[in-house]
Structure 1
Amino acid sequence: MKPSKLYSNRPAAFTAVEFEPELNVVLAEIRLPENRDRDTHNLGKTTLGRLIDFGFLAGRDPKFFLFKHLDRFEDFVFFLEIELLDGGYVTVRRSVAEATKIAFKKHVARHQDFSTLPDIEWDHVDVPFERAKDLLDSLLDWRALNPWHYRKGLGYFLRSQADFGDVFQLRKFANSHADWKPFLAHILGFDAELITQHYAKEDELKEKELKVGTIRQELGGEIEDAGKVDGLLLLKRQEVDKKQALLDAFDFRNEDKVETKQLVDQVDERIAALNQRRYSLTQNRKKVITSLEEDQILFNPEDASALFREAGVLFDGQIKRDFQQLIAFNKAITDERRGYLAEERAEIEAELKTVNADLNTLGKKRSEMLAFLSSTDSFSKYKRLSTELITLRADIEGLERQREFVHRLQQLRTDIRTLGEEKTRLQSAIELDVEAKNADDQSLFSRIRLFFNEIVEDVIDQKALLSVVVNQLGHLDFRAELLDDAGIATSADRGFSYKKLLCIAFDLALLRAHLDDAFPRFAFHDGVFESLDDRKKENLLAVIRRYTELGLQSIISLIDSDLPPRDDDDPVFMPAETVVRLHDEGDNGRLFKMKSW
């Protein structure tokens, strides 16, 4: 339930840390004046939390300092001693060089040193990594987390600086909300199974909708009506049966009749109609061409003037101007009319081109039919019918494939409607569950929110509200807010120092509410007093001490400049509480007795 000891096979480079059951302080002393204004000091107070996480079998991250600087740490083997629920202990051995091969040993006494213990005396040796996590999960026996693994919520109890940005969403929860919200809801006392099912239905619904889009794309605008496809299939199959019967009987009399009727009723009638239309179009084109030629104005005023001069008649002056204006007027009308005639001629010629093409096609088809009727070679008719039968069967195969797509599309739409109804039902159930837990003063969530408010109010004399609501999508939204005197949320929680306080308050409230459960009973908080004024530091320390008296282990790290001021006779921490003391006077003051990396 609590870390008990952390040590290595190289004690000269890493001094063993023996944790107390209650308060544990990792104190970094800045003794050199030139270092007091620095933001970071690389002494190792944050690194201790990472090493504890390594002992709890964190995954092998290449960015993790042990693996990033493998040349420095390859020879290290770390041992984490953990107190169990039954009062016994288990020690986890994990080396840096072979980080995926784990060893375990259960024991009764605390603060043991198994760094030189031979493999034969360990209970489990070289356990593969995934199996080792399952084994440690069973040894820790944090049943209150079931059905989730022990590592799922470990980040709430090993808060690094990177995890103070959000009260609920840890840095490791960078994946979708479905990955962590059900777990958080569970440890807060809500029905996580409903939330898990809701996310599953939502994912299934999205998958079905994507499939609908894919199928519609495959159909490519073809018929999506199953009834129409089935009707077309029925007609095509009937036609296949008729032609197959003719082929089987080797008798083409009925086929001859059909071809003859089609020739007379369809092809010849169509050819006659097209010929009539071609004649009409040809006549119209001729008239248009004639009109275009007749529209030319042949009168020339200059020629008329010369002719009048020869005859001794005066033509200049007003008479000549009137003729010119008349010609200009007629020319404007003629130009407009010629434009319309040109457009009509283009339309006639385009239609004539289409008519001639249709007549050519029908003429070819008529010739083929006449050749079929006049043919005395039954094998030629058999060959033609066989070809038509193959085409029909190919059409049927295409329609059957299309029908399969359409039926799948209809089934998907039915599934989508069903999933939508189930998703709505689950959302209603989630809303009822959240409403009931919010209204029940004795619910786990109500206790957590009371403890949360109590901690914040004790530290900064301001109320805080922990709330869970269901949004429009049916997902849970978790909120931690500071309230003003009127009970209205303020923006004070947006500052880093208050955000960190809300995170600490949430973790402690969670641990206290689960004191009677098989649940973790420790919390590591890095830089616990940073940015708080002295009075709030004292208040927070009082809260932490009160919680350790309840049976919770608190591991806090801080720099000496963040200590609340006290008289020399009244130290902030007792000597036994300071389990790690770091300083900046040389390498011996670091967590690892070596140069910083």
Structure 2
Amino acid sequence: MKPSKLYSNKHDAFAPVEFVPELNVVLAEIRLPENRDRDTHNLGKTTLGRLLDFGFLAGRDAKFFLFKHLDRFEDFVFFLEIELLDGTYVTVRRSVAEASKIAFKKHAARHQDFSTLPERGWDHFDVPFDRARELLDSLLDWRALKPWHYRKGLGYFLRSQEDFRDVFHLRRFANTHADWKPFLAHILGFDAELISQHYAKEDKLKDKEQKATTIRQELGGEIEDAGKIDGLLLLKRQEVEKKQKLLDAFDFRAQDKVDTKQLVDQVDERIAALNQRRYSLTQNRKKIIASLEEEQILFNPEDASELFREAGVYFAGQIKRDFQQLISFNKAITDERRGYLVEERAEIEAELKVANSELNTLGKRRSEMLAFLSSTDSFAKYKRLSGEMVTLRADIEGLERQREFVHRLQQLRSDIRTLAEEKTHLQAAIEADVETKNADRESLFSKIRLFFNEIVEDVIDQKALLSVVVNQYGHLDFRAELLDDAGIATSADRGFSYKKLLCIAFDLAVLRAHLADAFPRFAFHDGVFESLDDRKKENLLDVIRRYTALGLQSTITLIDSDLPPRPDDEPVFDPSEIVVLLHDEGDSGRLFKMKPW
């Protein structure tokens, strides 16, 4: 349940770190005056948390310092000793060169050194990486995390500087909310299964909607009514049967009769109607063009002014101004009417284009039908009917394909309705669960939010609210806010120092609420006192000590300039609490006794 020891096969380069069950301090002393104003000192206090993560079988990342500087660390083998729930220990062996080959050994005593233990001394050796994770998961036995893997929430208890940016969303989580929100809801005491089902249902619904959109695009605006398609297929098949009988009998009299009737009743009538419509449209277009050309105002106020002047009329200026106003008024009316005429001409020309196209098609068809009727060559008629049969069968095949698409679309629509209804029911269940857990003072979430507020209030004398709400999409929104005296959320939590405090308070509150469960019982917080004033540092240290007294292990890192001042050089920490002491006086003061990288 807690890290017990971290060491390597190279004690001179990396001194063993023996953790105590309660408070562990990684203290970096800045002894050189020229380094006191630097933001970073590269001594290794942050690196310790990364090594713990490596020991807990973090995945291989080329950016991780051990692999990024392989020339320096290739010969290193690290060992992480972990205290288990039953008081026994397991040591995890992992080398840098073969990071995917893991070894395990269970033992009863703490602070062992297996750096020289031969292969036969290990319980499991060279275990493949994925199998090793499963094995460590079973050894840790953090049952309260199930059905999730032990690494899922490890970031809440191994907080690096990057993980203080958001209380809930860790950098190791995927960006999709479905990856981390159900897990977070689970450790807060909500029904995570409902939330996982809701995300899964939402994904299925989106997939079905996307498929339906694709099919509609494939149909390209064609018929989406299966009943209409079935009707068209029935007519087409009947027509195929009739033509097939004619072809089989080699008798085209019936077809001649049908073509004659169709030529007279449909084709000729349609051609006549279209010609009449085309004549009417052409006449209207001619009138519009004439109107557009004639609408000009020929009166010139300047010429009229000159005429009045020569005639000796003294009010010529006033008359000119009146005419100009009249012309402007008439011009405005003319421009508006001209716009209507131009628009109407465009509509007429578009309709003429359609009519001409249809007339050309009908004319061609009429010629073909007349040629068929006047032909005495039976083989020519047979050939034409055969061609029509091919076209009909192609139409039938296309309709059948279209019907298949439409049936798939109808099934998808049915699935979409079902999934949408199920998603709505799940959202209602999630809302009911959240409302119940919020209202229940004995719920796990109520305990966590009380512990959370207690920690923040003890440190900065300001209330804090941890809340979970269901948004309009049925997803959970997690919030951690500082409150003013009126209980209204303030913007103070947006500052990095207070954001870090909220993260620490959240981690400790979750750990305390799960003390009775098979759950992690340790927390690593990097740079815990940074940016806090001295009084708040003392308050936070009191909180951490109080929580370690409950049975939680806390590991904190800091530099000596962040220590709260004490009178008469009274030490802030007991020497037994300082598990790693770093300094800037040469390589011996670094976590790794070597040149910085």
Say whether the fold is shared (TM-score over 0.5): yes
Separation in 1, partners of 2:467, 2:219? 49
User: Which amino acid in 1 is paired with 2:368?
Assistant: K
Shift of 1:364: 2.5
Q: Are residues 251 and 102 of structure 1, via their aligned partners in 2, closer, same or farther at CA, if it must alter by over 3 Å?
A: same
> Displacement of 1:264 after TM fit?
5.1
- Secondary structure (helix, strand or coil) at the match of 2:468 reads strand
Distance 1:363 1:542, change over 3 A: closer
Counterpart of 2:291 in structure 1 is none
Counterpart position of 2:332? none
After superposition, the Cα gap between the structure-2 partners of 1:453 and 1:42, relative to the gap in structure 1 and judged at 3 Å, is same
Q: Which amino acid aligns with 1:62?
A: A
Q: Which amino acid aligns with 1:422?
A: E
Deviation track 1:233-265 (CA, whole Å, cap 9, x = no partner) reads 111111112222333344434334323444555
1:369 aligns with 2:372: yes
The offset of 1:380, in angstroms, is 3.8
Query: Superposition pairs for residues 154-165 of structure 1, below 5 Å?
Result: 154-165=154-165
Given that residues 6 and 78 in structure 1 are in contact (C-alpha distance below 8 angstroms), is that contact kept between their aligned partners in structure 2?
yes
CA distance in 2, matches of 1:236, 1:73: 78
- Please say if residues 463 and 483 of structure 2, whose CA atoms lie closer than 8 Å, have aligned partners that are also in contact: yes
- Separation in 2 of the partners of 1:226 and 1:252? 34
1:433 aligned residue = 433
What is aligned with 1:53?
53
The Cα of 1:91 is off from its aligned counterpart by 0.7
In the TM superposition, residue 391 of structure 1 has moved relative to its aligned partner by: 1.0
Separation of aligned partners in 1, 2:69 and 2:270? 89
Per-residue CA shift, 1:127-150, capped at 9, x if unaligned?
111111111111111000001000
- RMSD between aligned residues: 2.6
Choose 513-522 or 250-259, whichever is displaced more. Answer: 250-259
Higher mean C-alpha deviation, range 253-262 or range 163-172? 253-262
Equivalent pairs, count: 531
What does residue 503 of structure 2 align with? 503
Name 1:246's counterpart in structure 2: 246
Structure 2 residue aligned with 1:230: 230
C-alpha displacement of 1:358: 6.8
Q: Which residue of 1 aligns with 2:447?
A: 447
Report the Cα distance in structure 2 between the residues aligned to 1:445 and 1:276, rounded to whole angstroms.
81
Write the letter of the residue equivalent to 2:553: Q
Shift of 1:405: 1.1
Q: Match for 1:365: what amino acid?
A: E
SS of equivalent residue, structure 2 residue 5: strand
State the SS of the aligned residue for 1:195: helix
- 1:75 touches 1:96 (CA, 8 Å); kept in 2? yes
Name the CA distance, whole Å, in 2 between partners of 1:440 and 1:355.
75
Between the aligned residues of both structures, percent identity stands at 82
Aligned pairs (5 A) from 1:5-24: 5-24=5-24
Shift in alpha-carbon separation, 1:271–1:20, aligned structure 2, 3 A: closer
User: Shift in Å at residue 521 of structure 1?
Assistant: 0.2
What is the rounded CA distance, in whole Å, between the counterparts of 2:32 and 2:61 in structure 1?
Answer: 34
Q: Which residue is 1:295 aligned to?
A: none
> Which one is further off, 398-407 or 579-588?
398-407
1:180 match: secondary structure: helix
Amino acid at match of 1:8: S
- Which one has a bigger Cα radius of gyration? 1
Give how far 1:366 is off. Answer: 4.2
1:456 matched to 2:459? The reply is no
Mapping of residues 282-301 of structure 1, within 5 Å: none
CA contact (8 A) 1:274 1:359 kept: no
- Are 2:82 and 1:79 aligned? no
In structure 2, relative to structure 1, the CA distance for the partners of 1:359 and 1:441 (3 Å cut) is closer
Indicate conservation of the 8 Å contact 1:271/1:362, yes or no.
no
Gap regions ≥5 residues in structure 2: 288-340
Give the match for residue 29 of structure 2. Answer: 29
1:138-195 alpha-carbon deviations (Å, 9 max, x no partner): 1111000001000000000000011111111111124111110110000000000111
Give distance in 2, aligned partners of 1:273 and 1:432. 68
Shift of 1:371: 3.9
SS of structure 2 residue aligned to 1:222: coil
CA contact (8 A) 1:267 1:366 kept: no
Measure, in 2, the Cα distance between the counterparts of 1:478 and 1:275.
72
Matches within 5 A, 1:404-443: 404-443=404-443
- 506-515 vs 533-542, which moves further: 533-542
Listed one character per residue, the Cα deviations across residues 478-510 of structure 1 (whole Å, up to 9, x for unaligned) are: 111111222111111111111111111110010
**Matching residue of 1:198:** 198
**Closer, same or farther in 2 for the Cα pair 1:564/1:272, shift >3 Å?**
closer
Distance 1:354 1:508, change over 3 A: closer
Query: In 1, distance between residues paired with 2:15 and 2:398?
Result: 77
Could you tell me which amino acid in structure 2 is paired with residue 166 of structure 1?
D
Letter of the 2:579 counterpart: V
Q: Which amino acid aligns with 1:563?
A: L
* CA displacement 1:302-328 (0-9 Å, x = unmatched): xxxxxxxxxxxxxxxxxxxxxxxxxxx
Q: Say which SS state the counterpart of residue 82 (structure 1) adopts.
A: strand
**Deviation sequence 1:437-458 (CA, Å, 0-9, x none):** 0000000000001111111111
Q: Contact (CA 8 Å) 2:467, 2:480: kept in 1 or not?
A: yes
